Amino acid sequence: MRDPKSEDVKTDVPNVKMNSLFGTQPLGTSHPPGDPHAVSFSLPTWASVAGNMAGEPWVRKRKQTTYPRMGFCPIVSRLTEAALGRVNRLKGVKARVFVSKEAASRLECTARNKDPTAKLSTIEFKLTSTESLGIWEWANFVLVLFPENLEDEAFTFWLNHGDGISNRQAEFCLELLDFMTSRCEGNEPDFQTSGPKSGYTPTSFPGWTNSRLTDKTVIKSVLAETIRSDNGALAPVRAEDVFLYSTGMMAIGKIARAMAGMSQDAVGVIFGWLYSGTLPLVKDSGYSNCMLYGRGTEEELDQLESSLAAGAKCTVLFTEITSNPQLHSPNLVRIKELANKYGFPVVVDDTIGTSVNLDILPYADVITTSLTKIFNGACNAMGGSLIINPNSPHYERIHGYLHDHYEDLLFPADAAVLSQNCIDYPDRVRRCSQTAREIAHFLAARPSVKYVNYPTLVPSQAQYERFRREGEGYGYLLSIVFHEPDFAVRFFDALDVWKGPSIGMNSSIALPYSVLAHWEEQDWAAEYGVPKHIVRLSVGLEPEASLRARVVEALAKAAPVTLCKDDH
């Protein structure tokens, strides 16, 4: 058997496989290749995905970047090291970089909960300039120092909360670090420094200087327009109802903490199998209890209703349409009826279903979206949003709280990229949805396939149809479960598409989902319908015939004798 560590890997960007825009890239190559702000990277084999999660050197050394919440991208790493150098880094000390002091404070609380005696320091770096701040107010960050025995807690916080500094802002700050001063609340002398240069006077301005306000307006306008309900009786979403954040998880965290902050002994309900980081994020957001109804079925709705009728408390309910990776659709109509009866808001994430395909405004009080995914498409910028439904009975309370506690942390250069890429968002959703449906049904008919998860092929199809806009599709994501686990491994290894974390790219990208998302809890995830050997496929803009040919080729390489006559 071939040693997976001996893969023919090209680590220098010019040598990536360029003969196919959509084909598998060498191990560690950034997605997109050569982009310093790429938010994904290539894990071309099942073994490399497992090796990445295990931290094996043969994978780690080849990574040109990482998914920003899964670790340090090179630019963020350089800023962290440079800032540590400024404050006389001590042995055994680790650090994380944030833009928000509030986020830094939450990491400190998390660390102290684990080790109340730990020595922690928060150091604020700011640009000193004789110029009016303007765009230069973005040249600031907060460095949190903690002992290395708390690295696991810091990593989990960084992963689930999505509060880390963005790659582009880290680049901006790194260029200006020599002009920044550092200050520590504890007034520790080593942390009170002046940069080696002073009196910064700009000689040029970033390209996003003049568009930094209009870019965010464009993003809000696209979101407000696409979420508009087909029910003309409902008030439309306005730009002021849209709140932008640096990541999708930051947006979820904001609404989770907001709801907990407005209620004593808050109880959160997670309905359905949500993204792997959502449950721990909600648990870490100030709730006295979190209830998981992880299958999202009618039976679990019965259980929830019985619990509420018996006096159980629900402060807020979180769900997704559709779920990742089962592509299940919850009964939002019944959930909304319970919410109205018992007075709790419903938060729905539509990242996978999308507001292009689905009309969920009548049933959601708050809608969260990861703008990193298909809203962007180019896989080169992070972002997230909250939309507060102006028709919600909770509108004034939630909108007022978020407005009063809002920090504009979406870096203008990231907003510039998102605003440019989102213009054709509806068209890309439609194209990807059409191809995904064809591929899903093609795979479902293969004898090697046990079942395919796609909105038209799962038991909750009728629920999806209730919310599907007339003439629109079923989304860009599907997942495949084969009869034989070994077949899944061989199929994934042979499939000639991008492979690695993230979804919603312009290029199709595949992943053994449970291995990456539930590395240490795969047995538990399997109990909720996420088998260990499930293969997730996010469909891109390739012609359907081209992607189908790649799927056929992978099936043939995995087990040639199982091919049907019509596989070609």
282 plus 382 within the same structural domain: yes
410 plus 298 within the same structural domain: yes
CATH, residue 283: 3.40.640.10
Work out the percent of the chain whose per-residue pLDDT is above 90: 84
Q: How confident is the model at residue 19 (pLDDT cuts 50, 70, 90)?
A: very low
What mean pLDDT comes out for the span 176-202? 76
Contacts (Cβ under 8 Å, ≥6 apart) of 11: 26, 28, 29, 62, 64
The pLDDT value given to residue 18: 30
CATH, residue 483: 3.90.1150.10
The pLDDT value given to residue 10: 33
Round to the nearest angstrom and report the end-to-end CA distance of the chain: 29
396 plus 263 within the same structural domain: yes
The pLDDT value given to residue 133: 57
- 326 part of a folded domain: yes
Which of 368, 390, 423 is the last residue before a domain boundary?
Answer: 423
- 82 part of a folded domain: yes
- 35 part of a folded domain: no
Whether 275 has a pLDDT exceeding 70, the answer reads yes
CA distances from 513 to 68, 129, 155 (A): 18, 48, 20
448 plus 412 within the same structural domain: no
270 plus 351 within the same structural domain: yes
344 plus 446 within the same structural domain: no
279 plus 412 within the same structural domain: yes
Region of poorest pLDDT, from 212-216, 394-398, 539-543, 559-563: 559-563
The pLDDT value given to residue 132: 55
Tell me how far apart the alpha carbons of residues 512 and 491 are, in angstroms, rounded to a whole number: 11
Burial code of 446-460, b = ≥16 C-beta within 10 A, e = fewer?
bebbeebbbbbbbeb
Contacts (Cβ under 8 Å, ≥6 apart) of 158: 69, 96, 164
Burial class, 230, CB count within 10 angstroms (exposed 0-12 / middle 13-18 / buried 19+):
exposed
479 plus 552 within the same structural domain: yes
Whether 407 has a pLDDT exceeding 50, the answer reads yes
Domain enclosing residue 266, as ranges: 212-423
Structure tokens at 308: 């509420």
434 plus 398 within the same structural domain: no
Which of 159, 191, 223 is the last residue before a domain boundary?
Answer: 191
- 43 part of a folded domain: no
261 plus 409 within the same structural domain: yes
430 plus 556 within the same structural domain: yes
- Name the amino acid, one letter, at 325: P
- 13 part of a folded domain: no
- 32 part of a folded domain: no
Tell me how far apart the alpha carbons of residues 98 and 163 are, in angstroms, rounded to a whole number: 7
- 429 part of a folded domain: yes
Domain count, the chain: 3
Tell me how far apart the alpha carbons of residues 426 and 272 are, in angstroms, rounded to a whole number: 26
The pLDDT value given to residue 135: 78
- 263 part of a folded domain: yes
Average pLDDT, the chain: 91
The pLDDT value given to residue 210: 63
What mean pLDDT comes out for the span 482-503? 98
Closest C-alpha to 275, from 382, 348, 196, 189: 348
Whether 415 has a pLDDT exceeding 90, the answer reads yes
Which of 423, 445, 477 is the last residue before a domain boundary?
Answer: 423
98 plus 120 within the same structural domain: yes
